[in-house]
Amino acid sequence: MSRDIGLFEAIHSQRAIRYLKPDPVPEEMVLELIKAAVKAPSGGNSQPWKFIVIRDPELKRRIGEYYLRSWNAVYGDAAAGPPLHPRVRASATHLAEGMGAAPVLILACIEHRGGPSAMGRGASIYPAVQNILLAARGLGLGSALTTLHKGFEEEIKALLGIPEGVETAALLPVGFMAEGSRYGPTSRRPVEEVIFRDRWGVSQEAGRDAP
């Protein structure tokens, strides 16, 4: 199992991989992903996560169906739905149609016991999800952070026996990358556009002239 990849190479090349081979993913690789996940920070080191590794074909099929219904409801009508780059639309459609056929689905869940709100709750699970994505990159696997399954949160919780006080956070298809698929470089807004200095809206460091 190769793990020889630099941290920054992983960060800079990790991306949503939505075209996966059907080949099985060894359990030891899945365990590596979860071992990376549980090293993430969480509020008060509460570690409120659970990761459901789904390999059962029937469960995957049913989750895939919910995901596709959600995809169609949100993005099915290209003119009315949120805008998407045509390449992202094509790959996300491919994933939506094949979610249930991914070799492994990892459903990241957070135990919140009814505690407050979206942002605080998410902050204690999404770093773990990002660790899974980076570890997948390190192992040569493909994955993508998806959330559209949440359109059927209650149905999926019932299907998998997830109790009250637990919320699903992300559904990650995992597999080896299909031929022609590749990691990044990714396209992101440049740092200069998103960094402020000391105050909102101040782009230049104090004492430095604009170029």
Q: Which stretch binds ligand FMN (CB under 6 A): 10-18, 36-44, 134-142, 189-197?
A: 10-18
Q: Are 110 and 163 in contact (CB under 8 A)?
A: no
Q: Are 69 and 151 in contact (CB under 8 A)?
A: yes
Q: Which stretch binds ligand FMN (CB under 6 A): 12-20, 23-31, 48-56, 197-205?
A: 12-20
Binding of ligand FMN by 186 (CB under 6 A): yes
> CA gyration radius for the chain?
19
Q: Which of 26, 31, 78, 147 binds ligand FMN (CB under 6 A)?
A: 147
Q: Which stretch binds ligand FMN (CB under 6 A): 5-13, 42-50, 112-120, 140-148?
A: 140-148
Q: Which of 20, 135, 144, 174 binds ligand FMN (CB under 6 A)?
A: 144
Q: Which of 146, 162, 168, 176 binds ligand FMN (CB under 6 A)?
A: 146
**Minimum CB separation from ligand FMN for residue 198, in Å?**
28
Number of residues in contact with ligand FMN, rule: CB under 6 A?
Answer: 12
Q: Which is nearer to ligand FMN, 76 or 203 (CB)?
A: 76
Angle between helices 86-98 and 57-75 (to 10 degrees): 150
Closest CA to 15 of 145, 109, 103: 145
What gap in Å lies between CA 210 and CA 205, rounded to an integer?
Answer: 9
Query: In the beta sheet, which residues pair with residue 3?
Result: none
Tell me the CB-side half-sphere exposure of residue 143, using CA atoms within 13 A: 29
**Minimum CB separation from ligand FMN for residue 96, in Å?**
7
Restricting to residues 72-131, name those near ligand FMN by CB under 6 A.
88, 92, 95
Strands (E), the chain: 49-54, 104-111, 141-143, 166-176
Q: Which residues bind ligand FMN (CB under 6 A)?
A: 15-16, 18, 88, 92, 95, 144-148, 186
